[in-house]
Structure 1
Amino acid sequence: MPSILMDVDTGIDDALALVYLLSRPEVRVEAITCTAGNVGARQVALNNLALLELCGRAGIEVAVGAEVPLEIPLVTTEETHGPQGIGYAELPLPKQEISSRHAVEVWVDAARSHPGEITGLITGPLTNFALALRAEPDLPKLLKGLVIMGGCFNYQGNTTPTAEWNVSVDPHAAAEVFAAYSGLPEENLPVVCALETTERIELRPEHLQRLAEAAGAEPELVLPEQPEGQRSRSGNPLVACLSDAIRFYMEFHRLYDQGFIAHMHDAFAAAAAIERTPYGTRPATVHVETAAPRLVGTTVADFRGIWKEPSNARIVTSNDPAKCFDELISSVGALAAAVGKRP
């Protein structure tokens, strides 16, 4: 049974990633730790708790960690993910409380208690994990593996011309994390899902229609010609939640001339973390720029050993969007069908 410890800044695509993992019966979500990124860390935690309850999975520990980056001021992105981080979706306040433990304690305790069993999945800034490495430098050896959504390599950034969002929020944390993995055996290096492959996971209106069909719900039409902010009329609460969240994300992408689509970066990373979608990797030495003003957050990969430094990452170089969406839709659809049958 795969055991996943998630670190997220939920976030619309983080939300789909979480729901997807909850939909997999063979996956154990060990805990969810929250960092500031798309929205503030405590709002992230509330989003996660509400999603857990919507999916019938209350009881998973949700802990808050870093509320600011290591060295620079926090920047959030409500214009991308909505004022609460989940687009137009509105969820009731959760009944379960945020854990009294700090995210660092959760990471360290879980890794020490289950050595070699837990895969870390980080879909937000790397602040919590960097702090956890300071507390337990052997984390890379204690974890079964680590999957990171972040960075871009020889590809335009989505925050600056050269930087991806998660890394740009806390570049110093990202630099510490990659340094911690330098020189480890290739099979222990983090799998890095960067923009050049995650932006291939383009969710379109027809995918939401297929999700509603898989859930046994009435047709769900999220179309570019509809008024902005139109709310889902689906009687299935999970389909409605995801549709309302993703509509906001699609409208954002259209505003920036990317079409009426939504890049599901984190959902791909989640499927990769449990090996339910095909992908290929290539080892590299990753450098994160933290000083040059216009280049802060830029990730550079040396694939050819020009720096003569050990590899510290396995960068995803190929994936299959169609197979990824087949997996996401069938699995999340089955969970939505179960949620729709609850009284």
Structure 2
Amino acid sequence: MRQKIIMDVDTGIDDSLGLLYILASPEAELVGIASTAGNVPTPQVAANNLALLELCRAPEIEVALGAEAPLAIPLRTTEDTHGPQGIGYAEFPPPTRRLSDRSAAQLWVDLVRAHPGEIVGLCTGPLTNLALALRIEPRLPELLGRLVVMGGAFNHPGNTTPTNEWNVHVDPEAWHEVFAAFRAAPADRRPLVCGLNITETIEMFPEHLTRLAERAESLPAHEVSEHDAPGTRSKASNPVVRFLTDAVRFYFEFHRQYDQGYLAHMHDPFAAAVALDPGLARTRAATVDVELGGTLTRGATVADWAGMWGREPNADIVVGTDPAVFFDRLIERVGDFARTVYPA
């Protein structure tokens, strides 16, 4: 029996790799995609999701349009990080698939009510849609099988402000509401939180793309080098590999621009892998809340590891993993998937 997954994404270069990881995993059944504003505005996110499904020749999967703004503050997007369409240098034709008639929040509610205890929620963007779904159905923490989120920074600098991770920064009120809602969750249903303290150790380099292309039997396999001219486009024979190469190249260039090296942090694919196999992660329980009032720290995720607040843990924070094992799985799954969808 395959694991049912709802993905809530702000696609996004690394979100697109997270979606590909789930689509490429035989043990996963993607039952719905909620589009949320974050890396780019909601309509662009939804268009990216529909177009990616078409590129992957995926079966019909419901894609719902989410909220176009955070709960309490104006939307901030990050095209400088992910490109004007959110997918780096890659380009999609306008999708022919249609959006769902129901909202992303209603999609969450309807699916977990229809499949109580069977669905893993995987969120790789701001939690606006999930917070709105909780307002409709407060029992959602009991109805979900598990929640896996990418967001926050624990004992680690932020990537948006000195204390803030991007997904939380976009809508801190939503994250506060979600963590509050899961206070009553039993230990085996606490959210698994993949923060920057771990995801910034998941570093993709050009050789990872070469291995993936070789696995997909796509030519030329060796395409990306830090010595290439910025914006060089892929000539890969496999369309999935070509998309990935053009998307991730932009991410490599962004990270180099900020003196992090010619690499890309694969935040969201790692969360996707953990959603299917929590054994990839070493975790530590904590009580997590989000700072909403600090002049310098608004949007910071605060973990009470020692129980000083006197509240039960409401999250399992990922504190360790083996990046090499993750990349082996990513390359194997997505490479095989690309070769199957587009045989050489």
Counterpart Cα distance in 2 of 1:193 and 1:9: 16
**4+ long deviations beyond 6 Å:** none
**Is contact 1:6-1:121 (8 Å) kept?**
yes
1:82 maps to 83
1:177 maps to 178
Counterpart Cα distance in 2 of 1:214 and 1:102: 38
1:332 alignment partner, one of 327, 331, 334: 334
Structure 1 position 277, deviation (Å): 6.0
Size of the aligned set, in residue pairs, is: 342
2:161 maps to 160
Structure 1 position 341, deviation (Å): 2.0
1:261 paired to 2:263: yes
1:133 maps to 134
Structure 1 position 293, deviation (Å): 2.6
For the residue of structure 2 that corresponds to 1:317, the secondary structure is: strand
Deviating more after overlay: 222-231 vs 180-189? 180-189
Task: Map 1:5-84; keep pairs closer than 5 Å.
Answer: 5-84=6-85
Structure 1 position 296, deviation (Å): 1.3
2:222 alignment partner, one of 220, 223, 226: 220
Structure 1 position 99, deviation (Å): 1.1
Counterpart Cα distance in 1 of 2:327 and 2:167: 23
For the residue of structure 2 that corresponds to 1:294, the secondary structure is: coil
For the residue of structure 2 that corresponds to 1:295, the secondary structure is: coil
Counterpart Cα distance in 2 of 1:339 and 1:294: 48
Counterpart Cα distance in 2 of 1:233 and 1:59: 29
Q: Give, as a single letter, the amino acid of the residue that structure 1 aligns with 2:108.
A: W
1:275 maps to 277
Q: Give, as a single letter, the amino acid of the residue that structure 1 aligns with 2:297.
A: L
1:102 maps to 103
Counterpart Cα distance in 2 of 1:217 and 1:202: 23
2:247 maps to 245
For the residue of structure 2 that corresponds to 1:63, the secondary structure is: strand
Counterpart Cα distance in 2 of 1:317 and 1:86: 29
**Is contact 1:276-1:327 (8 Å) kept?**
no
Q: Give, as a single letter, the amino acid of the residue that structure 2 aligns with 1:270.
A: A
Counterpart Cα distance in 1 of 2:246 and 2:4: 29
For the residue of structure 2 that corresponds to 1:182, the secondary structure is: helix
Q: Give, as a single letter, the amino acid of the residue that structure 2 aligns with 1:215.
A: A
Q: Unpaired segments of 5 or more residues in structure 1?
A: none
**Is contact 1:277-1:327 (8 Å) kept?**
no
RMSD of aligned residue pairs (Cα, Å): 1.0
**Is contact 1:49-1:58 (8 Å) kept?**
no
State the identity as a percent.
58
Counterpart Cα distance in 2 of 1:19 and 1:276: 18
For the residue of structure 2 that corresponds to 1:177, the secondary structure is: helix
Distance 1:221 1:276, change over 3 A: farther
1:289 maps to 291
Counterpart Cα distance in 1 of 2:295 and 2:308: 25
Counterpart Cα distance in 2 of 1:267 and 1:59: 22
Structure 1 position 58, deviation (Å): 4.2
1:91 maps to 92
1:210 paired to 2:211: yes
Can you list the C-alpha shifts for 1:61-105, whole angstroms capped at 9, x where unaligned? 000111100000100000000000000001111110111110111
2:236 alignment partner, one of 221, 234, 237: 234
Counterpart Cα distance in 1 of 2:330 and 2:141: 28
Give the TM-score normalised by the residue count of structure 1. Answer: 0.98
Can you list the C-alpha shifts for 1:224-274, whole angstroms capped at 9, x where unaligned? 100000000111100000000000001000010000000010000000000
2:312 maps to 310
Q: Unpaired segments of 5 or more residues in structure 2?
A: none
Counterpart Cα distance in 2 of 1:286 and 1:111: 24
Structure 1 position 340, deviation (Å): 2.1
Counterpart Cα distance in 1 of 2:83 and 2:288: 32
Structure 1 position 185, deviation (Å): 1.7
**Is contact 1:3-1:119 (8 Å) kept?**
yes
Can you list the C-alpha shifts for 1:188-218, whole angstroms capped at 9, x where unaligned? 1100000010111100000000000000112
